[in-house]
Amino acid sequence: MVPWCSAAVAVGFYTCPERKVKIDKAIIYTDGASRGNPGPAAIGVVIKDGQGKVLARISRRIGRTTNNQAEYRAIIAALEEASRLGVARVELKSDSELAVKQIVGRYRVKNQALRPLHQRVRELQSLFQSLTIAYIPRRQNAEADRLSNAALDAAVD
């Protein structure tokens, strides 16, 4: 299914094409960073196949936002890219304990600004045969962390 497909089906004018699976499994590392809270923010994403080969990297500024919003935006960007690549099964790892626990349903999403981001992640989950998400310590997320910080360092305000 394509990302816009569910909205089109809801109004009854489009039949969704089947999404072609090109990659069985991807392991994804995500990081969102904000300098200030809120402040200038960026995301870093590393997508690897099941054998550890890097399929994609994302390192980009996302404007001014909070750290938690940046973490969610990194997860969203990662899932959108995985869908574009044709990944069937996703194992996502994030160093944001809050985002992970909210996505898996252990914490409620109380912050109004995070609700639409959380909803977008829920929508993207349906694009995959399976999606697991786990919290990892920052030291295990070094490459995604480096990418988010590189985007912040390279930017000119």
**DSSP states along 59-99:** EEEEEEE-HHHHHHHHHHHHHHHHHHHTEEEEEEEES-HHH
Q: Would you state the pLDDT for residue 21?
A: 72
CATH superfamily assigned to domain 23-154: Ribonuclease H-like superfamily/Ribonuclease H (3.30.420.10)
Interhelix angle 115-125/67-85, rounded to 10 degrees, is 20
CA distance 10 to 109: 25
CA distance 20 to 72: 26
Q: Would you state the pLDDT for residue 78?
A: 98
Q: Would you state the pLDDT for residue 11?
A: 38
Pairing relation of β-strands 87-94 and 54-65? Answer: unpaired
List the domain boundaries for the chain: 23-154
**Which residue ranges in the chain fall short of pLDDT 70?**
1-19, 155-157
Task: Specify the 3-state DSSP secondary structure of 46.
Answer: strand
Q: In what order do the strands lie in the sheet with 54-65?
A: 54-65, 39-49, 23-34, 87-94, 130-135
Q: Would you state the pLDDT for residue 4?
A: 39
- Full-prediction pTM beyond 0.85? yes
